[in-house]
């Protein structure tokens, strides 16, 4: 059977168009927008127990003709020990209690560490840090990104194809032969195929796909 070269060229062009526009599975990747919700929380920690007591002191204020009475909250335990030292005329004990109450103390470390947020802090106090109470807020945010597209071979694919063979020895055959083949391809890109052409030649093949880019 003689096959005109123009017919072969038309078949090749038709196969190219079909592959380019019919079997084209390249889809436009659209941006994805993610809105993170607002998160509010509170962290409380008590480092030491204390029973507060209220006392009043007279404080000299510049520009005031007489002392101003001021209310302060104190640690009842330290207050009782200090008053006992004064009553017992134990000046050393009273002095030590006073110095301890005005000592500079530093507390630092991780204050909050959960699924939402991590906060490290440092506190400098005059006396002793007894407890802290922290309110925090993670504001809502909008994040837009373009997802990466990952192409992966399926576990098993059916491969259909056609090919045109041109004679290398015109004395035997002068017309090209059109062949059709069918095969199976695994997820590693290996393909086993069988085919037949218009010259009634049967072929069995194996091919391997390698990633270049």
Tell me the per-residue pLDDT of 183-194, one tens digit each, with 9 for 90 and over.
Answer: 998 888 888 899
pTM: 0.43
Question: What pLDDT is attached to residue 50?
Answer: 82
The number of domains in the chain is 2
Higher pLDDT, 46 or 171: 46
Number of C-beta neighbours around residue 177 at 10 A: 19
Picking from 154, 211, 209, the residue whose alpha carbon sits closest to that of residue 187 is 154
- Examine the domain organization and report whether 122 and 172 are in the same domain: no
E strands within the chain? 32-36, 39-46, 52-59, 68-75, 104-113, 118-126, 131-138, 141-145, 156-165, 177-186, 190-197, 202-208
Residue 121 is assigned to a structural domain of this protein: yes
- Examine the domain organization and report whether 78 and 156 are in the same domain: no
Higher pLDDT, 92 or 25: 92
Range of the domain at 16: 5-20+149-208
Percentage of the residues of the chain whose pLDDT score is greater than 90: 6
Statement: residue 149 has pLDDT above 60: yes
Residues 71-105: pLDDT tens digits? 988 888 888 998 999 999 999 999 998 898 888 88
Q: Tokens 């002068």 sit at which residue?
A: 174
Question: What pLDDT is attached to residue 177?
Answer: 79
Q: Compute the half-sphere exposure of residue 136: CA atoms within 13 Å on the CB side of its CA.
A: 19
Q: Tokens 């809502």 sit at which residue?
A: 140
Compute the distance between CA of residue 103 and CA of residue 99 in angstroms, rounded to an integer.
Answer: 6
- Examine the domain organization and report whether 69 and 117 are in the same domain: yes
- Examine the domain organization and report whether 133 and 195 are in the same domain: no
Domain boundary among 97, 114, 139: 139
**Tokens representing residue 23 in the block:** 């079997």
- Examine the domain organization and report whether 178 and 132 are in the same domain: no
Residue 144 is assigned to a structural domain of this protein: no
Domain boundary among 94, 116, 139: 139
Picking from 148, 213, 206, the residue whose alpha carbon sits closest to that of residue 181 is 206
- Examine the domain organization and report whether 119 and 47 are in the same domain: yes
Compute the distance between CA of residue 52 and CA of residue 74 in angstroms, rounded to an integer.
Answer: 6
């Amino acid at each position: 059977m003689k096959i005109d070269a123009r017919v072969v060229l038309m078949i090749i062009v038709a196969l190219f168009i079909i592959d380019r526009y019919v079997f084209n599975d390249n889809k436009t990747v659209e941006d994805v927008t993610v809105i993170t919700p607002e998160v509010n929380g509170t962290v409380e920690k008590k480092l030491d127990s204390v029973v507060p007591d209220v006392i009043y002191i007279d404080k000299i204020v510049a520009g005031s003709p007489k002392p101003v009475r001021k209310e302060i909250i104190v640690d009842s335990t330290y207050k009782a020990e200090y008053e006992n030292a004064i009553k017992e005329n134990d000046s050393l004990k009273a002095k030590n209690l006073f110095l301890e109450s005005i000592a500079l103390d530093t507390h630092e470390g991780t204050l909050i560490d959960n699924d939402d947020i991590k906060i490290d802090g440092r506190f400098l106090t005059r006396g002793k840090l007894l407890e802290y109470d922290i309110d925090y807020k993670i504001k809502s945010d909008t994040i837009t990104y373009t997802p990466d597209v990952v192409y992966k071979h399926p576990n098993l694919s059916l491969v259909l194809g056609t090919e045109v063979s041109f004679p290398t020895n015109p004395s035997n055959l002068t017309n090209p032969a059109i062949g059709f083949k069918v095969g199976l391809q695994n997820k590693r890109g290996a393909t086993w195929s069988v085919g037949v052409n218009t010259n009634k030649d049967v072929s069995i093949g194996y091919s391997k796909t390698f990633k270049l880019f």
